[in-house]
Amino acid sequence: MVKETAVVKETPISSARVPSAAGSGDIRLIEQRRAKFALQRIEDALAKSEDGKYRHSQLKSFLRRLPAMIQMNGFGQALAFYYAKRTNYEAYGVVYKLLEDWLCAEGQVYAGAEGFEYALYPQSRPHLLHELTSRDQYHYRRAEAEAQALLAWAKKFAEALILSNDDVEDD
């Protein structure tokens, strides 16, 4: 289970594009905020059109795979892997971005680090990886626990909303 340490300050949603970690005033539980954020991101992704680089089924498969990968290979390693793969398979980028925007949002463990634009530029700066590698191991651990808690929701919503189940090829 994730230990709740930080009390997230209630602030109005700052931008429509990147929902802040603190939701509107009627939401109380951190779990509800995680769920809301994850659901929003999965729905955003479903609004994207599929092409050679992006398929909804890939997003589901990559979300399913990440929690175990974090536990097996370590948080930083798993994130770096997802970041590296984002140019060939956009769904990896969507997952990385989900974690980055959540962990760098206000009231979160890496608050203050700005996320990059939602369009996944190959030359964009990996803020979350920078934070992960420059802050101490207690932040790292908290970020890992928080990421797992968010992924639990994202994985469930992806399984609920993405029905196609093609075999996902991966190099």
Partner 1 sequence: MTATTHLIFGLFTETPLHAGGGSKDGLIDLPIQREIHSGWPCVFGSAMKGALRARADQLGVDDDLKVTAFGPDTLNASDHAGALLVGDARLLLLPVRSLTGHFRMVTCPALLRRFVADRARAGLTGPIPAIPEVEQGSVQVKNPQGKGDIFLEEFCFTPQPWSTADEWVELLLALVAPVPGLEEKDVRETLASQLTVVDDDSFSHFCRSAIPVLPHVRINSQTKTVEGGGLWHEESLPPDTLLYCVVAAQPPRSKRYHDMNSAKLLEQACEALFASGPYLQVGGNETTGMGWCRVARVAAELPGGEQ
Task: Please calculate the CA angle 120-121-125 and round it to the nearest 5 degrees.
Answer: 95
CB crowding 27-47: b at 16 or more within 10 Å, else e: eeebeebbbbbbbebbeebee
Task: Tell whether residue 57 is a contact of partner 1 (CB under 8 A).
Answer: no
Q: Tell me which residue has tokens 């009231």.
A: 107
Residue 36 found at the interface with partner 1 (CB under 8 A) = no
Among residues 14, 32, 87, 165, the one that binds partner 1 under rule CB under 8 A: 165
Among positions 140, 143, 158, 162, the unique one binding partner 1 when judged by CB under 8 A: 140
Q: Which of 41, 55, 56, 155 binds partner 1 (CB under 8 A)?
A: 155
Determine which residue in the list 26, 49, 137, 171 makes contact with partner 1, applying CB under 8 A.
137
130 contacts partner 1 (rule: CB under 8 A): no
HSE at residue 154, side-chain half, CA atoms within 13 A, is 31
Helix (H) or strand (E) holding 135: none
Q: Does residue 1 bind partner 1 (CB under 8 A)? A: yes
Q: Please compute Rg for the chain using Cα positions.
A: 15
Residues 6+ away with beta carbon under 8 Å from 3? 145
Q: Which is nearer to partner 1, 18 or 30 (CB)?
A: 30
Among 72, 119, 169, 171, binds partner 1 (CB under 8 A): 72
- For residues 70 and 151, what is the distance between their CA atoms, to the nearest angstrom? 11
Interface with partner 1, residue 62, by CB under 8 A: no
Phi-psi region of 19 (alpha: psi -120 to 50; beta: other; left: phi over 0): beta
Query: Of the ranges 10-18, 22-30, 115-123, 145-153, which one interacts with partner 1 (CB under 8 A)?
Result: 145-153
Residue 88, interface with partner 1 (CB under 8 A)? no
Which range in 22-30, 45-53, 113-121, 153-161 contacts partner 1 by CB under 8 A? 153-161
Residues binding partner 1 (CB under 8 A): 1, 67-68, 71-72, 74-76, 137-138, 140-141, 144-145, 148, 151-153, 155-156, 165, 167
